[in-house]
Amino acid sequence: MTLHSLTESSSSITSGNNAADHFFLLRPFDDGVMTAELTNQTGRYQTVDKVVIYDWQHGLNDDALLYGEGFQMLSQTGGVLAKPVDIGRCDDGKAYRLYDPNREQRVYNLCVLNSGNQLILLGFVSCHRFAGYFSLRHGRIEVTLDLEGVTLAPHETIQLEGFCCLEGQYLDQLLSQFGQLMQVAHPRALPEKIPQGWCSWYHYYENVTADDVRENLAELKSYPALEFIQIDDGYQAFMGDWLTPSDKFDGGVPALIKEIKGQGKKAGIWLAPFIAERGSRLFKEHPEWFVKHPETDQPLAAEEVTYGGWRCTPWYMLDATQSEVIQYLKHVVSTMRNSWGVDYFKLDANFWGAVHGGKLSRENVTRVEAYRLGMQAINEAADGAFILGCNAPMWPSVGLVDGMRVSDDVERQWYRFNQIRRETFYRNWCHGTLWLNDPDCLVFRDIPGQVANQANYRLHLTTIIASGGILMLGDRLNALTTEQKSFVKEVSRLIDQGYGAAQFVGLDQHVGVANCSGGRLVTLTNGGEEALTLSIALQSEESCNVIVGAEVRLESDCVVVVLDGYDGAVIELTKS
């Protein structure tokens, strides 16, 4: 019913030449996917700003539950149709300025609606060239592709991105089907082994030193499952000069990596490949390599068009449509991979590789294409090393990363733990399908300015387990208690046992279930202030192992769990 009303709805084209009627839009469905084609029917060159593929009069109630994805990692939308609510803290409209939130409310890539017992999933299954979004208007949803003013030659036909509409009662089934369609459009063989290790950022931040890394390397001997030691932001002299160490790494990063490998561990490194700060050697020597301001033709500062960055600003963005930039990216990554011995790349600030509002050197190349060109170069140079995307444009990264950060940065605060829970759980379906999910680092201990109670830490630990994803520790390892060390080893066991990401039947995220051949793992979370009591029905001959939880009792046919405000629990149920 929904698909019929959708396909019968009207379309429209916004043309820079005010010549929308000079185009023909074909909207064929094949095996559940619609891949539109746009044809310039004239003998002249014509530009196109956007295509509204469907202007859908949906007829849904204003209180229909909503979930929408974002263009970039920090943007997700919940609430109801009449009143969408930001889930993250940096949305695409107000924070990243991708559109004017006073004129419309958008969600990108994926839109799920729950009206009564029926779920409707609208989604773009590909993102090779154009970003897709949904404009939420009163009684209508405009299914739109941003063509960024591309020019079509006389009588030229271009293929747009794939789109699907799915309906059903169970969210996990719809998302699984959707993920399979995305895999077809963006195939990538994902690593069989989920990375586990330690990251320097969340205890030391940019003040990390080589000696700090050595101290934690020594502690990692007690954790044989934790293979990686990942050096984060702070090792470099300037943002952009990734091969030049800061004075805190005066012995050089390659020598430190040699020590890491000498201890039987693998080395990971952080870099933000698409940006540079003004004081960097890269920017000083090659200002022509950067995205230009459309009016002045000078390098464009990020803050002029979007969120400006979190430190060492202003940031300037490399233009990956230039062959010299592609060679530079390959040089940096291949040096780290082949000369330094890096096995794991955490690529941060990737959004700025797809920045809007600037001018690229090559005409008729979209920002999605430019970003993908840069990422393809990095993949080639990484030569099989693990690639993690972070602060990335989500759909443009599909098929180009092994792992993806799916939440905000961890902070030891109840509200951030709860935010990360929601962000991660809504993206659990991506894990093992589009990429391996990274819910950010697991932490146990307060630091100055960041304080949480034990219930909050249980919520955080439950979120990490329920994600089924990458495990990176973020504390100073020699400060962990015996109990905290045992939790780390238990999380490693669950990953190695193959439970994977918990699945949720609906948009309610209280109870998630992950299955493996040995049993089922049930994760329970309370995202509210008041205590919450939940029960799990036991199947025949199931035994119960409480992994996380303060108040759990076993009854004849169920397990009863009492959660404090912002609390979590994990129960492993196996056949006796």
Q: Among the listed ranges 48-57, 113-122, 198-207, 246-255, which one has the minimum average pLDDT value?
A: 113-122
Pairing between β-strand 77-80 and β-strand 46-57 as defined by DSSP bridges: unpaired
DSSP helix/strand/coil, 171? helix
Matching residue, tokens 């600003």:
313
Rounded to the nearest integer, the mean pLDDT of the chain is 95
CA 192, CA 189: separation in Å to the nearest integer? 9
Q: What are phi and psi of 50, to 5 degrees?
A: -155, 160
Q: List all residues 6 or more positions away from 125 whose beta carbon is below 8 Å from its beta carbon.
A: 33, 161, 162, 163, 164, 178, 181, 182, 184, 185
* Alpha-carbon distance values, 522 to 247, 335, 419, 546 (Å): 47, 44, 20, 10
Whats the size of the chain, residue-wise? 576
CA 263, CA 513: separation in Å to the nearest integer? 37
Matching residue, tokens 């014509």:
46
Q: What is the pLDDT of residues 512-538, one digit of tens each?
A: 999 887 789 999 999 999 999 999 999
Q: What is the pLDDT of residues 406-428, one digit of tens each?
A: 999 999 999 999 999 999 999 99
Topology annotation, domain 504-575: Immunoglobulin-like (2.60.40)
Task: Please give the structure tokens belonging to residue 568.
Answer: 């979590």
Task: Kindly tell me if the per-residue pLDDT of 141 is higher than 70.
Answer: yes
Element (H, E) at 279: none
Neighbours of 72 (CB within 10 A): 26
**CA distance between the termini of the chain:** 46
Matching residue, tokens 């008729």:
364
CA 294, CA 316: separation in Å to the nearest integer? 14
Neighbours of 510 (CB within 10 A): 15
Residue 29's identity, in one-letter code, is F
pTM: 0.96
Sign for the CA dihedral angle at 198, 412, 420, 86 comes to negative
* Alpha-carbon distance values, 90 to 46, 224, 352, 419 (Å): 35, 37, 14, 12
Average pLDDT over residues 375-390: 98
Cα 20 to chain centroid, rounded: 35
Q: What is the pLDDT of residues 214-271, one digit of tens each?
A: 999 999 999 999 999 999 999 999 999 999 999 999 899 999 999 999 999 999 999 9
Q: List all residues 6 or more positions away from 39 whose beta carbon is below 8 Å from its beta carbon.
A: 23, 24, 25, 26, 152, 155, 156, 157
Q: What is the pLDDT of residues 299-355, one digit of tens each?
A: 999 999 999 999 999 999 999 999 999 999 999 999 999 999 999 999 999 999 999
Residue 426's identity, in one-letter code, is Y
Sign for the CA dihedral angle at 125, 127, 128, 129 comes to positive
Neighbours of 93 (CB within 10 A): 19
Q: What is the pLDDT of residues 477-510, one digit of tens each?
A: 999 999 999 999 999 999 999 999 999 866 678 8
If phi > 0 it is left, if psi is from -120 to 50 it is alpha, else beta; for residue 342 that is: beta
> Are the C-beta atoms of residues 206 and 233 closer than 8 Å to each other?
yes
Burial-class residue 405 by CB neighbours within 10 Å (0-12, 13-18, 19+).
Answer: buried
Q: What are phi and psi of 21, to 5 degrees?
A: -75, 0
CA 328, CA 275: separation in Å to the nearest integer? 12
Letter string b/e over residues 104-137, b meaning 16 or more CB atoms within 10 A of that residue's CB: ebbbbbbbbbbbeeebbbbbbbbbbbbbbbbbbe
Average pLDDT over residues 60-77: 96
The residue ranges of every structural domain in the chain are 3-185, 504-575
Task: Kindly tell me if the per-residue pLDDT of 443 is higher than 90.
Answer: yes
Q: What is the pLDDT of residues 352-365, one digit of tens each?
A: 999 999 999 999 99
If phi > 0 it is left, if psi is from -120 to 50 it is alpha, else beta; for residue 98 that is: alpha
- Give 1's pLDDT tier (boundaries 50, 70, 90): low
Residue 22's identity, in one-letter code, is H
DSSP helix/strand/coil, 357? coil
Task: Please give the structure tokens belonging to residue 229.
Answer: 């030691």
DSSP helix/strand/coil, 96? coil
